[in-house]
Amino acid sequence: MADDIDKEVLKQQVLEFISGKKGHIADLDEVLDLIGGDRERARTLLDAIAEDGEISIVLDSVMLNSDRYLPKVRCLICDRAVSRDDLVPFYREKHFPFVSWGFHKDCLEGGALDEMLSSGMFRMKDGKIYPNYEYGEGKNPVTIAIKYLRSEDFLYSLELKSSED
């Protein structure tokens, strides 16, 4: 039982430490040093904290999951804030397992989702929307998506679809 209490206290220390970091991301080594003791045991404890879903470990970084500190995200189509309850997420999991951008369900209606998928720039997998292109120099998925989704061509094609209905 005492071990459980220690793990809860440790979890709170780790969450507070990461919360205090810019971008809510800390270096894995820093977090392991915070936990202290044997490196292998520290990693096991950190993995147990990650299983609770409040943090993620990606490569050499430990980060707070976005719903812990971002109650709302931005819609890529209309740029208004979206409550997480009304969100269709835009996942960029290659680098970031959390979601800070997505879509209003209303913005995807009226053929927008079909148009997005038919453009070849987006794909759906398990009901989630992902970029359909590789990351790289000058290839930020959010920037690319915004340029496309707010372009006159995309908006015009939606207008045509809605007039057909």
Choice between 73 and 32, residue whose per-residue pLDDT is larger: 32
Q: Which residues contact 113 (CB under 8 A, 6 or more apart)?
A: 129
Residue 18 and residue 91: Cα distance in Å, rounded? Answer: 22
Residue 97 and residue 82: Cα distance in Å, rounded? Answer: 18
Residue 87 and residue 141: Cα distance in Å, rounded? Answer: 18
**pLDDT tens-place string over residues 88-122:** 888 765 555 555 678 888 888 878 899 999 988 89
Is the CB of residue 84 less than 8 Å from the CB of residue 73?
A: yes
| Residue ranges of the chain assigned to CATH 1.10.10.10 | 3-68
**pLDDT tens-place string over residues 44-57:** 889 888 887 778 88
Tokens 């970091």 correspond to 21
Residue 6 and residue 131: Cα distance in Å, rounded? Answer: 41
Least confidently predicted of 9-13, 48-52, 81-85, 111-115: 81-85
Closest CA to 117 of 102, 130, 104, 100: 130
Relative to beta strand 122-125, strand 128-131 is antiparallel
**pLDDT tens-place string over residues 66-76:** 655 555 678 88
For the domain covering 3-68, report its CATH number.
Answer: 1.10.10.10
Which structure tokens are listed for 79?
Answer: 């740029």
